[in-house]
Amino acid sequence: MTTIIIDHFVAPLCLEQIEILFEDEYLLAINKPSGLLSLSGKNPLNKDSVHYRLVKQYPDIRLTHRLDLGTSGIMILAKNKLVNANLSKQFQARSVIKRYVSVLVGAVLDNEGLIDLPIAKDSLLFPRLKICHKDGKSAQSHYKVIERLDEPLRTRVIFMPLTGRTHQLRIHSQAIGHPILGCDLYGASETEIAIATQSMSPRLLLHALDITFDHPHTQKRMTLVSQCPF
C-alpha cells in the first residue's frame, strides 16, 4: 500500500526583494531573503519564489542549487542550459565550496569539528528528515566557532557542508545538541531548549555567506560573498 503525503504548508508572504550581487552573460548571483522559497511549491498558494520572480526578467534562468525557505544568502543561477550543466557537474564533483554563518543554542565546547551523520527521510514526520545509520545517505558538515555569546548562551559558527543533503545543517546542529536559533523543525528534545530555539529569533539564523566555484566560461576560480545580516 502506497502512502500519499499531502503538503498543506503555505509559506508566509515575503515582502523583501531579491538583491543581485553579481551578473554577467552566463550566470547570476543573488542574495535570497529569508522567508522566500527557492522554487515554487506544488501548492498554488506557494507560487512566489526565487525562480518565479526571476524568470520574468530572465526567461531561461535555472536554479543550480537551492536554499531552505528560512535560509538567506547567496545563490548561483545559470542563464542557460549549458551553463547549468557545467555548474551542476561542479556540484556533483563537490568542487563547489559553500560556507554558512549560523547562531546555535548553547555553548559549543569544541572550537571546530566534523559532524558525520547520515540523513534519511522521516515518513512519519514529513517534511522533517532524520539521522538514520541504517538507511540514511552520507552527510558531513565541518564547523568552526567564531564567537561565543552570553545571556543567553549562544555560539556563532561557520559551517562548511561537505555534502548537500536537504536540511543538513539544521539536522546536524540538532544532533550535536545545539539547534539553530529560529529553527521550527529541528529543535531539541528538551522542551525548554526547543522553545528557546524558536523564541530567541524571529527567523532561522542560517545565512549562506559565500560560494567558491569555477566560472563556467573563463574557468577561473571565483568566490562570491553575501554579507550576513545578523
Cell numbers describing residue 138: 552520507
- Residues 131 and 180: beta-carbon distance below 8 Å: no
Q: What is the pTM of this model?
A: 0.92
- Residues 117 and 132: beta-carbon distance below 8 Å: no
pLDDT at 123: 82
Distance between CA atoms of residues 165 and 159, nearest Å = 14
pLDDT at 193: 58
Q: Could you list the pLDDT tens digit for every one of the 230 residues in the chain?
A: 444 555 678 999 999 999 999 999 999 999 999 999 999 999 999 999 999 999 999 999 999 999 999 999 999 999 999 999 999 999 999 999 999 999 999 999 999 999 999 999 988 887 899 999 999 999 999 999 999 999 999 999 999 999 999 999 999 999 999 999 999 899 765 555 556 666 789 999 999 999 999 999 999 999 999 999 99
- Residues 193 and 178: beta-carbon distance below 8 Å: no
Active-site residue among 24, 48, 60, 68?
Answer: 68
pLDDT at 196: 61
Give CB contacts under 8 A, 24+ apart, made by 195-203: 196/105, 196/152, 197/105, 200/105, 200/152, 200/154, 201/103, 201/230, 203/34, 203/35, 203/70, 203/72
- Domains of the chain, earliest start first: 19-95+211-225 (3.30.2350.10), 100-199 (3.30.2350.10)
Question: Is 68 among the catalytic positions?
Answer: yes
| DSSP conformational letter for 180 | B
Question: Residue 224 forms beta bridges with which residues?
Answer: 211
